[in-house]
Structure 1
Amino acid sequence: MARKWHRWQDWAALVIGVLTALSPIVVSTDTAALWSLIVFGVLIAATALWSLAMPDSVVSEYVHAVLGVLLFISPWVFSYADMTGAAWTSWVAGVLTVAAGLAALPEAQSEHRRLAGQH
């Protein structure tokens, strides 16, 4: 049985997601920035919980990486790149989310192969 709730990369993604979702409390935002930070933060935190609960899920780690990329580009897509705090929050959290997802990928793949071999 896979050890659940142990991978540090997923805990890091959970913290990144929660902090991103809460960041509009401390950074200036407009409507687009507010909702981008909240939605992407909640999605990152939710996929982190998914990864923690199912450590053999390789897909969840790829989802982290994709969400991180989307968060990174959101200041340009939703036109809030001129809002320094919100934009930098998106860029830093996006890069860290991609890094956490990719760092957890080898371990998730190993766990997936191990469990697939038991069947």
Structure 2
Amino acid sequence: MFEKIQDIAVVKAQKDLEGEWFEGADTYLNALVEEVFEVKEEIKSARQCFLEDELGDLLWDIACVLEHLELSGQINKDEVFRRAIKKYSERVTERIEGETWASVKEKQKIELEREHLKGFE
């Protein structure tokens, strides 16, 4: 279902570029921060439909951030999803005995640093 939100965000991104109010991905990053507080408030209120609605706003803002960062050439959305799947499968479902979340995280940080430095070779 996230793909459907992403499809709508593709259209919205083009409309954003036509507007004067839009300030790049920061527009949606700022909204994301605000929405986190709204989600926290709805968790306290125990109003399920409002909580679900606010969580949807978080998904929307994430979809818009991804779209605008891709449009600006800063990311590849598919790569973001691939990296997230790899990261969390290694930390959760593929973690071998004796490894901890923290030890896997540290190993991943080292791998990212190597990947980053490789780009300078």
Higher Cα radius of gyration: 2
Name the TM-score, length of structure 2 as normaliser: 0.39
Structure of higher RCO (CA pairs closer than 8 Å, 6+ residues apart): 1
Name the TM-score, length of structure 1 as normaliser: 0.40
